[in-house]
C-alpha cells in the first residue's frame, strides 16, 4: 500500500529510482514519473490503464527549465508563462528530443506545465529531470482532488502519495496549443479564456473536438465520468420522474426538500464558480458512492470557471 505523507525527499528518491509518486497540484492530483525515463513512464500507463494514444503533460518548477522539455519555444509562450506560471495552464509546444515519444503518444509536440503547489515545487526543485504526470485516476474516471481519492483507487499500485491537502482549483489545467503559430484552447480548465485573452490581446478560439478524433483525449465525449448515470438538465423537472429517496442531487445553489439532505451536494451556496470548481469532483465521487439510482445535475452560470465546469458536467453525463 502507498505511504501517504509530506516527505518530498523520500518522494524524490523514489522518482530517481524510476518509481511512481502521486503529487498534489492546485488543479488535481497527478501521477508522476521521470519524464526522461521510458520504463518509468510505461508504469504510469499501466497503473492508470491508460491507452497509449493519450499523451502525458510534463511538469517542471520554473520557466528556465522549459527549454529542457520543448524546443523552438515561441515568444508568445514565454509571455503566457510569465503571466500564468506556476498556475493552472498547460502549453503545447514542439517536443525536445530528450522527451520520449511514449510521453507524447508519438506527437512531435509536448504539453508543459508548472504546477502551483509548494510541496510539488519543492519536489521538482530536488530533481534533475522533469516529471510526466497525468491526473492520478483510472482512465476515464473523475480526477482526484485529495490524497485520499488517490489512495482509494491507486493506493495498491504506487509506493508514495504526497498529501498536499485538497486542491485549491479543483479542475484540470487549461490546455493551450501554441504549435505552428496557433493560439488554440484544446481543453477548458482552471484558467479562464478571458484571462488568456488579456495577455494575448486577441480572441482565442476553443474548438470542441469530436470523440472519434480527439486532439486532446481529455476531450473524449465521455470522460471524467462517475459510474452512476448523471442526468443533466432542469432538476425541478427531472425530479418528477424519479423516486427522490433513490436520487442524488448535484446542484449549483439550491436545496431540494423532497430529497434526503445527505444525497445532495451544493456546489456553491454563495454562487461563486471558483468554489463550485473546487467542490465538483469530490461531490461527484461522493454521489457515486451512495445507494442511489441516478444523479440529477444542472449546468452552472458561465462566468469565471463556469464554462470549464459545464464542460466536465457534460462529459460526466455521457
Ligand atoms: O491539471 C492538469 O493538467 C493535471 C495535473 C496533474 O497537472 N493533469 C492532467 O493530465 O489533467 P491528464 O493526463 O489527465 O490530461 C492531459 C491532457 C490529455 O487530454 C492529453 O491528451 C493532453 O493533455 N495532451 C498532453 N500532451 C498533448 C499534446 N502533445 N498534444 C495535445 N494534447 C496533449
Ligand atoms: Mg485525466
Q: Are residues 202 and 245 in the same domain?
A: no
For 80, residues 6+ apart whose C-beta sits below 8 A from its C-beta are 89, 91, 176, 178, 196, 199, 200
* Ligand 1 pocket, residue 297 CB under 6 Å: no
Last residue of a domain, one of 187, 219, 251: 219
pLDDT at 1 over 50: yes
- Taking CA atoms, 230 is separated from 3, 171, 281, in Å, by 33, 18, 13
Q: Are residues 302 and 172 in the same domain?
A: no
Q: Please tell me the distance from the alpha carbon of residue 70 to that of residue 53, in angstroms, as a whole number.
A: 20
Q: Are residues 48 and 167 in the same domain?
A: yes
Q: Are residues 159 and 268 in the same domain?
A: no
Q: Are residues 241 and 184 in the same domain?
A: no
Residue 213 pLDDT: 43
Q: Are residues 210 and 262 in the same domain?
A: no
Ligand 1 atom, smallest distance to 111 CA: 26
Last residue of a domain, one of 185, 219, 253: 219
Tell me the pLDDT tens digit for each residue of 87-107: 999 999 999 999 999 999 999
- Start-to-end C-alpha separation, the chain: 33
* Ligand 1 pocket, residue 107 CB under 6 Å: yes
Total structural domains in the chain? Answer: 2
Domain annotation covers residue 224: no
Domain annotation covers residue 139: yes
Q: Are residues 279 and 139 in the same domain?
A: no
For 67, residues 6+ apart whose C-beta sits below 8 A from its C-beta are 73, 96
Tell me the pLDDT tens digit for each residue of 146-164: 999 999 999 999 999 999 9
Domain annotation covers residue 292: yes
User: Rounded mean pLDDT of 52-66?
Assistant: 97
Q: What is the dihedral of CA 114, 120, 126, 129, to 10 degrees?
A: -50
Q: Are residues 102 and 168 in the same domain?
A: yes
Residue 226 pLDDT: 86
Domain annotation covers residue 50: yes
Yes or no: say if 256 and 295 are a contact pair by the CB < 8 Å rule. no
Determine the distance separating the centroid of ligand 1 and the alpha carbon of 240, expressed in angstroms: 39
Determine the distance separating the centroid of ligand 2 and the alpha carbon of 76, expressed in angstroms: 26
Q: Are residues 137 and 253 in the same domain?
A: no
Domain that holds residue 62: 3-219
pLDDT at 218 over 70: no
Q: Are residues 257 and 127 in the same domain?
A: no
Q: What is the CATH number of the domain that holds 167?
A: 3.90.870.10
Dmax (CA) for the chain in angstroms is: 59
Determine the distance separating the centroid of ligand 1 and the alpha carbon of 197, expressed in angstroms: 21
Q: What is the CATH number of the domain that holds 270?
A: 3.40.50.11030
Ligand 1 atom, smallest distance to 189 CA: 1
User: Rounded mean pLDDT of 173-178?
Assistant: 98
Tell me the pLDDT tens digit for each residue of 183-195: 999 999 999 999 9
* Ligand 1 pocket, residue 110 CB under 6 Å: yes
Last residue of a domain, one of 188, 219, 250: 219
What angle is formed at CA 108 by the lines to CA 107 and CA 112, rounded to 5 degrees? 90
| Mutation test residue for ligand 1: of 216, 280, 308, the one with most atoms within 8 Å of CB | 216
Q: Are residues 154 and 262 in the same domain?
A: no
Who has greater pLDDT, 222 or 211? 222
Residue 215 pLDDT: 56
Q: Are residues 98 and 32 in the same domain?
A: yes
- Ligand 1, atom 31, lies closest to the CA of 216
Per-chain residues with Cβ under 5 A from ion ligand 2: 135
Report the complex ipTM: 0.99
Q: How confident is the model at residue 216 (pLDDT cuts 50, 70, 90)?
A: low
Best CA proximity match to 183, nearest among 103, 93, 57, 261: 93
Amino acid at each position: 500500500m502507498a505511504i501517504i505523507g509530506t516527505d518530498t525527499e523520500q518522494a524524490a528518491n523514489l522518482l530517481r529510482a524510476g518509481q511512481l509518486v502521486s503529487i498534489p497540484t492546485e488543479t488535481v492530483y497527478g501521477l508522476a514519473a521521470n519524464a526522461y525515463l521510458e520504463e518509468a513512464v510505461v508504469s504510469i500507463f499501466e497503473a492508470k490503464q491508460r491507452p497509449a494514444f493519450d499523451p502525458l503533460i510534463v511538469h517542471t518548477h520554473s520557466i528556465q527549465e522549459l527549454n529542457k522539455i520543448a524546443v523552438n519555444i515561441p515568444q508568445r509562450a514565454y509571455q503566457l508563462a510569465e503571466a500564468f506560471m506556476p498556475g493552472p495552464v498547460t502549453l503545447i509546444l514542439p517536443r525536445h528530443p530528450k522527451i520520449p515519444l511514449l510521453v507524447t503518444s508519438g506527437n512531435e509536440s509536448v504539453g508543459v506545465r508548472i504546477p502551483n503547489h509548494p510541496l510539488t515545487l519543492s519536489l521538482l526543485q530536488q530533481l534533475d529531470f522533469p516529471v510526466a504526470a497525468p491526473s492520478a485516476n483510472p482512465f476515464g474516471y473523475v480526477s482526484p482532488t485529495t490524497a485520499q481519492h488517490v489512495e482509494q483507487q491507486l493506493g495498491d499500485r504506487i509506493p508514495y502519495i504526497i498529501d498536499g491537502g485538497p486542491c485549491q482549483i479543483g479542475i484540470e489545467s487549461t490546455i493551450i496549443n501554441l504549435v505552428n503559430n496557433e493560439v488554440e484552447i484544446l481543453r477548458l480548465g482552471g484558467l479562464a479564456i478571458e484571462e488568456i485573452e488579456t495577455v494575448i490581446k486577441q480572441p482565442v478560439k476553443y474548438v470542441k473536438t469530436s470523440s472519434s478524433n480527439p486532439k486532446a483525449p481529455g476531450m473524449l465525449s465521455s470522460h471524467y465520468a462517475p459510474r452512476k448515470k448523471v442526468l443533466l438538465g432542469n432538476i425541478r423537472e427531472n425530479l418528477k420522474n424519479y423516486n427522490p429517496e433513490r436520487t442524488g442531487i448535484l446542484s449549483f445553489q439550491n436545496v431540494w426538500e423532497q430529497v434526503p439532505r445527505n444525497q445532495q451536494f451544493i456546489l456553491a451556496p454563495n454562487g461563486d464558480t471558483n468554489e463550485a470548481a473546487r467542490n465538483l469532483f469530490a461531490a461527484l465521487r461522493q454521489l457515486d458512492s451512495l445507494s442511489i439510482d441516478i444523479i440529477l445535475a444542472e449546468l452552472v452560470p458561465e462566468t469565471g470557471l463556469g464554462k470549464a465546469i459545464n464542460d466536465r458536467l457534460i462529459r460526466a453525463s455521457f
